[in-house]
Every structure is written in C-alpha cells, then in structure tokens.
Structure 1
Amino acid sequence: MESIRIRLVGETVTATLESGEAARAFRALLPLTLNLTDYNATEKIGDLPGKLSIQGEPAGIDPEPGDITYYAPWGNLAIFYKDFGYSRGLVRLGRLSRIPDAFRQPGPITVTIEPAP
C-alpha cells in the first residue's frame, strides 16, 4: 500500500491507497489540484481529468467516513466524511488517516493530492 498526502488550507492529511487497478490509475494522475464541492452533506466530490480503469474491482462498496473513492458512472473522486450506504459503481481507492475539519464545512474546498515523500 502506498501513501499519499492531501494538502488544503491550513492542514495536511495523509492517506493510504488500495492496491487495485483503480487506485493504481489514480496514483498515476498525481499530483492533482482539485476543487471539491459538498455533495449530500456526506462527501466532497470533484472531477478527475480522466476515467479510471475499474477492471477487477467490486461492483460497489459501502463507504465509511474517511474513504477515498471513485464513482465510475460519473468519473469523479468522492471523499466521504459521513457514513453512507452501499453504492453500485463506487470503488474504494484508499483511506484518510483522519478527516480534515474543512471537509465537514459546507461549501467548496481546493485540495492538492500528491505522493507522500
């Protein structure tokens, strides 16, 4: 498992990536700066520059707070800060070491995601 870090205003958080095809494809896109918007008061979402391969990934997952995921039908990144139910098309890419306070605030945030040194 590989570590990444997510930098946002005032704080940095680390995360561990999964070993699957989608996580490897996501890692290949880094570094990325994304504008994340709040979705359903449960997750922050943002558009990726391209689709990720989901070959060999499960049909869906039941995400937990702190999960970094890829929603294949829309092709976007989704980072959960609240619990949510099973979603078809959702692929776990990794997990945050902790949930940044800014994720729990309404409104958009800008993050930079990069390999951890």
Structure 2
Amino acid sequence: MAKAKEGDRVKVYFTGTLGDGTIFGQTHEDEPFEFTIGEKSVLPKFEGAVIGMKEGENKAILIAPEDAYGPRDKERVFTAEKSEIPDHITPEIGKKIQVQMGSGEMAILTVLEVS
C-alpha cells in the first residue's frame, strides 16, 4: 500500500479538539476532508502528519497554538451571515467551526453571538 507523499490528493477523516476536549472541527462519515499535499492549503503540522500515512491508518497528533492559528486576535472578529455557514452546522455560542477561507487558508471560527 502506498504512503501519502507530496503532490498526492488525499481524503482524511479527523476530529480536532482543544485542550479542554471541546471539538472545534470534524469530518462526517460521508464527507472526508480532501486536500493536495504540498499546496499549503492546510496547517503545515497537519500536512506533515499525513505525509507517510497509508490508507486506513489512524494517527493522533498535537498541534500547539503557535503552529496553528496563534492566539485570539480581537482584530479578526467579524460578522458572518447564516447563509455562509454550511447547512450541517448549527451555530451555538462558544462553538468552534473550521472553515476554508476564500484564500484557501483554513481557519477556526468561534461563535460569539447568534442573532
């Protein structure tokens, strides 16, 4: 069985949790997360963990905040319309949602208010 390498298009299932166990993002059984290794569309530490994995392999990794999105920045708080949130996600105060931005960059959003 081949190992994942740069240039490969891969599909992964994951559950991302914070230090307190709060789930901030996860895939669903019928919707794997798909990306091409080397395109820099995911966190480098996440991509590095996928490199070398074989189909069906499981792995647990820890990504420190400084290797992810960094500390919270009040300058990056914005309002999103409900229509911009995927249908399978119910926005609830405090919920963490992982989204792909228009630039292709992945971001974790925290719901601060629902109106």
TM-score > 0.5 by shorter chain:
no
Q: Report the TM-score when normalising by structure 1.
A: 0.27
Work out which structure has the larger RCO, using CA pairs closer than 8 Å and 6 or more positions apart in sequence. 1
Q: Report the TM-score when normalising by structure 2.
A: 0.27
Tell me which protein shows more strand as a share of its residues.
1
Structure whose CA Rg is larger: 2
